[in-house]
Structure 1
Amino acid sequence: MSSASTPTPGRGPLRRLGLLAAAAVAVVATVLVTAGATGDAHPPGLPGSPVRVVGIGDSVTAGTACNCTDFVRLYARGLTSRSTPATASNLGVGGMTASGLLDAIRRPGAIRDGVSRADVLLVTIGANDLMPELQRWATGGCPQACWAPQVSRVGDTVAEVVRTARALRGEPAERVLVTGYWNVFDDGDEAAAARGTAYLAWSDALSRALNAALCDAARRSGATCVDVYSPFKGDGTRNPTPLLASDGDHPNAAGHRLIASALLAASGR
């Protein structure tokens, strides 16, 4: 647990290794989740084949600190249980930023390849782009005028992430779901003890602003915005600790189930 004066790193312990190192050790898990799937399942891309769900983003997507079934696989299992057989590929990378994700989609590699095959694309990104603002807050403060420009830049970058991803697939029926955050940094009892109530109020305002920018980016780029703030925190007064891992930063198993449920509801499933 970090002290109140020392900011914790961005989402996922791999950030200390740097983004390239994190990407190098990230495990890309493709899981067939069709109920009772056998070798005679339809190959991807053919009529009647399983829906290909791909998750991209930061350590929230990757399932860091949870040791549980991540929301990408839970979402695909939810589709399957509702008579839409699905597979899941989790391409989340701890420490990933929106700008780093855009670069990864533009360059040859596992993320670009996975995105180009997605029937449903789940996107959770943007928190790590705001780490400099957390550092400024911890060393002297960072009011709205400090963080607003970066929040706007993140929104524009995420809109471009979605446009680039949709162009790769070239399929009008592809669904892109962009989530927000309950908090872009740590939250709940852990954050209150480590940083104090002033931090909770500051990070909540910043998180709400980022969520608004992400929803605007989704609308501008033809994606669906998925609210996870309300399921975690209601009107902002609910303590999200029961949904968080011990680090106070990442969702636990219950949190991942809640994110998957929000995604399924937003996609009409």
Structure 2
Amino acid sequence: MFESITEKISSLVHHHREKHSEAASIVPVVEEVPVSKNWDFEITFVGAKNVPVGDIIASDPFLVAYLGPSDDQNTLSYITGVHWNTLNPEWNAKWNVQNVSDGTVLEMNVMDKDKMKEDTHLGKATLILGPQLEGFQEHTIEIIKPDGRTRGNITVHTTGKRTTGKAAALDKPTTTGPARYSRHTSYAAGILTHENKFEFYAYRIRLYHILEVFGSDPAGYQHWNLDYDAAKRIFADNLEGANIRNALHSQHSYLYRHDRKTEYGALT
């Protein structure tokens, strides 16, 4: 009987050791978070002081920013709202970008909005992004006019941190927004569309990641409907087609024109 008790105790001890050994061999798997040499930035275009004059005594300034070369169609860009009749605009517009390589140039172009003709380039300022901008910093940067002289300055806030997670696996910079929008008021459009009110709102939203979703190869784009008679007239390679397209472009420009009643915001 004593031997039987001894065997049971031995069996229990052996079983306990096996369970302890198995538990010790189970090591929690900690998922490694990729860390990049690149940077994420929250950029706030605060405003500008004493911008160059675009009209007679003032300007209608807005800012167009590029994360890299402005002549590259793949470069990320950002547009603020327009401030009317001022040389001291306050935009307070935020732009969040990820996976920005060290040495990338943030180019900020100050533009003067013209209602009926092409916008005027008033000047630009640049800021080099990289590890020297880690954490929160405020920058006051001189505006260089097209003739090379300086006038006024832009105030920009940046908050930089190392790129981690999924963004670190990307092969180019990207943005998390926010998506800016503008709301345009048109009395003429309200009349033309037979609205009850003599007022019509048109919204324009600036979306990102279009090329990532649809691709950059025109061969993969959806062609216009070749069986639609109206489309045939619009895209016809003749004088009538050219006149129709010009008229549509003019209507589009009028509908989405910027004026003092235009409202700006962001979708987050």
Decide: shared fold, TM above 0.5: no
Higher relative contact order (CA 8 A, sep 6+): 1
TM-score, normalisation: structure 2: 0.21
TM-score, normalisation: structure 1: 0.21
